[in-house]
Amino acid sequence: MLSSLSFHKDFSALRFSTHDIGVVGVSLKQSISAEAISALIFEPHNQDFTWVAQKPAELHLEIERENDHCFKVHVQATLVLNNTCVRCLKPVSKPFCLDFLIRMMEKKHLGLDDNYDSLAEGGSIEIDISKDDEDLVGYFSGTCIDLGIILRDQIFLEVPDYPQCDGAECSLPLSGIKGLNALDRDDERGNNPFVKLLKKT
């Protein structure tokens, strides 16, 4: 079970109990520290090319209660992430905005819950993305909607697995760099192993 609190305590601000989401819903602006964002997306098996935030992320969140088992979540976020070019090892900076809607549905109500998840404290999050990448649907069990985990999933979809600078002097990769082996994996968008981990349907 993945909880954003296991990455950084600041994500407690992005965990919502469904009991606290009233009829009018929730709307808030939240700044998440660079340290917390970096902890959220740290890749322990790919430390040389892990993404790092150097500025706080600015989030705007809206949660709408559709019924007791279904919540519509709108996330807008502005982030600047840094990495190292896999070819020339110069710094790469990637500023980007996330803007997505995801419908979070309670598993038990849908008959999808299994005993293991229903026993897990705080519940769990799974995210499905339809083929056209437009209909985001997530499932939660228990009463906690953990937006930190959703944010993590969407950041990994946005950043390239092989960051490259656009410098004119960007050269061919150096051999024998620690960590390059870790990059020897399918480069297809969405095949990030962390994203796969989250899609254990």
The binding site for Zn ion (CB under 5 A) comprises 85, 87-88, 165, 170
Residues contacting 80, CB < 8 A, separation 6+: 53, 54, 55, 93, 94, 95
Closer to Zn ion at the Cβ: 88 or 177?
88
Q: How far is the CB of 192 from Zn ion (least distance, A)?
A: 21
Closer to Zn ion at the Cβ: 142 or 163?
163
Q: How far is the CB of 90 from Zn ion (least distance, A)?
A: 5
Closer to Zn ion at the Cβ: 134 or 169?
169
How is residue 154 written in tokens? 């969407």
Residues contacting 102, CB < 8 A, separation 6+: 72, 73, 75, 127, 136, 137, 138, 150
Q: How far is the CB of 170 from Zn ion (least distance, A)?
A: 3
How is residue 184 written in tokens? 């020897």
Closer to Zn ion at the Cβ: 170 or 183?
170
Q: How far is the CB of 163 from Zn ion (least distance, A)?
A: 9
